[in-house]
Structure 1
């Protein structure tokens, strides 16, 4: 999709609060019409500031934000026509559920009949059509979150912005709401921009994820590509679990390279950042990609099982290598031969799944 077809574009956007340190640096981003885009990153990475600039609650220090090709950098929040859902729900306690949902329509001075029809539709959308006369204090956190979502959707916005909206919910309810939100997005086709620091949440719900760190987007990609092919150390370590080994490059061969571990063992992997011979590198492989080998073979390291951890749907072996590095290995339940603690094992990392980063 070209920039002209994108719903929202950020071009050269920067933000500083003190005039010296940049919270967001030279941000160029296209948000596609109808997509579910998550902004993922640790605290202070710039993701929430980016969302607040898009909402109009913060102004960029430099650069331009456009909606449908038209600049909105100086358009006030109430004229952008975006739905917004916050972590604390921000419901009016003295209003009923129906009154809370109707509030954006009152502000827009809709005729009463149209207003009531839209509120009814919004309540049905979030499966709360029998709860319109309740007050927020009479509802659970998950129900309040649905009301906040219905209020954000009731006026048919072209964009819905969400800032950690499920952060206050317990794990089981949060996972249930993730599935509901994704299904709702598919049904409505509205563009969602979602801020989270929870990597699993971002992978579960999104079409694409933009990973932020230090005010910059480190990688923006489809969720499967983000997980399988991280472009640098930060993304590899922040998104998903990783077995990490320190090594030095021994030889390079096009897109691959051979590395030597401190123990002298040699491995081959994908040379992501074009490391050269002698460079100190980090080798990363997902725990579920590591295989228990019968004996030493190419791309194998030896280790000792320190611990076996039961996760319900899988087992994890905590293994220590001769270099003192620790590696987690994920095994499916029912694996034919699970070693016991103290057992020596051979760990095979397929070269196509080992990524080498400068």
Structure 2
């Protein structure tokens, strides 16, 4: 098998539970060896169903799933050599940590001496050395999550599949475990496929992210491309924060621009081929908008706005600005670093907001 061949290939995969409504629609997806791929999307988008079909717990209604070029659509879960980590950890409460981790080896009839060595290495890997005799009830949530991860890794799987494994942890521990998981992935080089509805989590850990909505992958890209260049309006709204402006698409000497009801023309990138004169929406990240002191006449792509509120986030300040000019829901979010402190306007003050054309992404409605 050539090294550039994907480890897993979904080809035309569809899934329906009732024979009518498709939960997953015509899925084509390649998963590369050694990558950390996240399946991201809202509830009901098809991401978990996709993972369950890969694990073998669900069968496709149609289409093929290939592993190393070989059909596995009918292969039962225990013969796929995949590690699995669930949100609820699924540990056996009556077994010790060591016995839980050894369970996949026992099922595979690995000799006892080899089991002990592999379990020791797996517990070292997840920083649980010395805790092998404890029962799960005596562990914290983070420690239980590590046991589940050790159990998924102990038999050297080709793939590790994770279904929202950090969802039950508190925010600080969840962020700590994200870093640990990413580092473990880097050390092991095993292929990870990770389901989450948390876009921050996906951006933190992944090499690539597949954004699902209504059973379809809306965009599959690196985390940088996903954030900087959303492929459509759904991805722009689901991944990261945005200010959304409504208007009509106009042509300019250099390309296209969104013309807003107040007559202001903001040049931008016409992402998905909206036609001139059509209704469009422009999305701009809060940290890309440039704040200027108010002047009588706006220059370039800067337009007047009024500061209505400021919110302290710790690492940055966020200004909420009222754009007016006939805009619906015309609140513009502007993120300012603390180095900008001397320029912080107060609520009630007028400002100019500049929307850089390369960061103003225009989508058909």
Question: What is the TM-score normalised by the length of structure 1?
Answer: 0.98
Equivalent in the alignment of 1:316: 318
Mapped partners of 2:249, 2:148: distance in 1: 53
Contact between 1:163 and 1:196, CA under 8 Å: does it hold in 2?
yes
Equivalent in the alignment of 1:275: 274
Question: Which residues of 2 match residues 1-358 of structure 1 at below 5 A?
Answer: 5-251=5-251, 256-294=255-293, 295=295, 296-322=298-324, 323-324=326-327, 325-335=330-340, 336-358=342-364
In structure 1, the gaps of 5 or more residues are none
Mapped partners of 1:171, 1:53: distance in 2: 30
Mapped partners of 2:73, 2:135: distance in 1: 36
Mapped partners of 1:259, 1:4: distance in 2: 42
Mapped partners of 2:48, 2:100: distance in 1: 25
Residues 22 and 3 of structure 1: CA distance in aligned 2, closer, same or farther (over 3 Å): farther
Deviation at 1:334, TM superposition (A): 3.0
2:343 counterpart SS class: coil
1:5 counterpart SS class: coil
Deviation at 1:315, TM superposition (A): 0.2
Mapped partners of 2:67, 2:281: distance in 1: 41
RMSD: 1.2
Number of residue pairs matched? 356
Contact between 1:252 and 1:276, CA under 8 Å: does it hold in 2?
no
Residues 274 and 100 of structure 1: CA distance in aligned 2, closer, same or farther (over 3 Å): same
Deviation at 1:297, TM superposition (A): 1.6
Deviation at 1:300, TM superposition (A): 1.3
1:270 counterpart SS class: strand
Which structure 1 residue ranges, 4+ long, deviate > 3 Å from structure 2?
Answer: none
1:292 counterpart SS class: strand
Question: What is the TM-score normalised by the length of structure 2?
Answer: 0.96
Residues 67 and 315 of structure 1: CA distance in aligned 2, closer, same or farther (over 3 Å): same
For 1:236-295, what per-residue CA distance to the aligned partner results, in whole angstroms no more than 9, with x for missing partners?
0000000110010122667x3122111111110001111112100000110000001244
For 1:223-243, what per-residue CA distance to the aligned partner results, in whole angstroms no more than 9, with x for missing partners?
000000001000000000001
Deviation at 1:112, TM superposition (A): 0.7
Mapped partners of 1:277, 1:74: distance in 2: 50
Greater mean alpha carbon deviation, residues 191-200 or residues 329-338: 329-338
Contact between 1:302 and 1:347, CA under 8 Å: does it hold in 2?
yes
Residues 3 and 65 of structure 1: CA distance in aligned 2, closer, same or farther (over 3 Å): farther
Mapped partners of 1:288, 1:171: distance in 2: 23
2:308 counterpart SS class: strand
In structure 2, the gaps of 5 or more residues are none
Deviation at 1:4, TM superposition (A): 6.3
Mapped partners of 1:144, 1:259: distance in 2: 51
